Amino acid sequence: MTSIALGADHAGFPLKEELKAWLGARGYGVVDFGTQSAESVDYPDFGAAVATAVAAGKAERGVLVCGTGIGMVMAANKVPGVRAAACTDAYTARMSREHNDANVLALGARVTGRDAAIEILDAWLGAAFAGGRHARRVAKLAELDRARLGAGESADAAAR
Ligand code: RB5
């Protein structure tokens, strides 16, 4: 069964707990990266933790929740190897898997209620990457990661 890294900020914390229970009841292996309360925290910290776990292969997929899903998707997509999608409906969630091979899903607890979030998550987990022409495009996303990493290495070398 797919292993899932889960994370949220304070705005996403209650929905994260709902999603964790739903995933656990269906047999998914869940690693909870926090936050663990409604106390104010910074979404990039949790987005980065989940995204890094997915990029490192410590979890197959990541699910992130903040107020809108926007901060989390921005943070997660800074991590090379991560293809994060912020989704507010089941169709885009399914497409993000079939066409984009999204490995992280971002949800907004202030825009998406519990039942809709579970519908989106269920659609996302149930969809598979279609490959074919989409594989060529996803490979180009990986090329962007490599170019960025290469540029970073060059900048490091220049600074030395
Ligand atoms: C927190 O107030 C809120 O800014 C955060 O949860 C998220 O929506 C940011 O994108």
Helix (H, G, I), strand (E, B) or coil at 23: helix
pLDDT at 158 (0 to 100): 67
pLDDT at 154 (0 to 100): 66
Residue 159 C-alpha to ligand 1 middle, in angstroms? 35
**CA distances, 27 to each of 19, 30, 115, 130 (Å):** 12, 9, 19, 25
Number of compact structural domains in the chain: 1
Contact, 3 vs 59, CB < 8 A?
A: yes
Long-range CB pairs of 149-153, under 8 A, 24+ apart, other chains included? 149/80
- Overall residue count recorded for the chain in this entry: 160
In this predicted structure, the answer to whether residue 7 has a pLDDT above a threshold of 70 is yes
Catalytic residue list contains 66: yes
Residues near ligand 1 (Cβ within 6 A): 9, 11, 43, 66-68, 70-71
At 84-119, the pLDDT tens digits run 999 999 999 999 999 999 999 999 999 999 999 999
pLDDT at 143 (0 to 100): 97
Claim: this prediction has a pTM higher than 0.85: yes
pLDDT above 70 coverage of the chain, percent: 95
Sign, Cα dihedral of 145, 29, 67, 97: positive
In this predicted structure, the answer to whether residue 152 has a pLDDT above a threshold of 90 is no
Residue 48 maps to which CATH number?
Answer: 3.40.1400.10
pLDDT tier for residue 138 given thresholds of 50, 70 and 90 = very high
Contact, 120 vs 90, CB < 8 A?
A: yes
Q: What is the mean pLDDT of residues 40-52?
A: 98
Catalytic residue list contains 10: no
**In which domain, by residue range, is 43 found?**
3-159
User: What is the atom index within ligand 1 of the atom nearest the CA of 74?
Assistant: 10
pLDDT at 151 (0 to 100): 82
In this predicted structure, the answer to whether residue 156 has a pLDDT above a threshold of 90 is no
Separation CA 115–CA 16 (nearest Å): 13
Average pLDDT, the chain: 96
pLDDT at 159 (0 to 100): 67
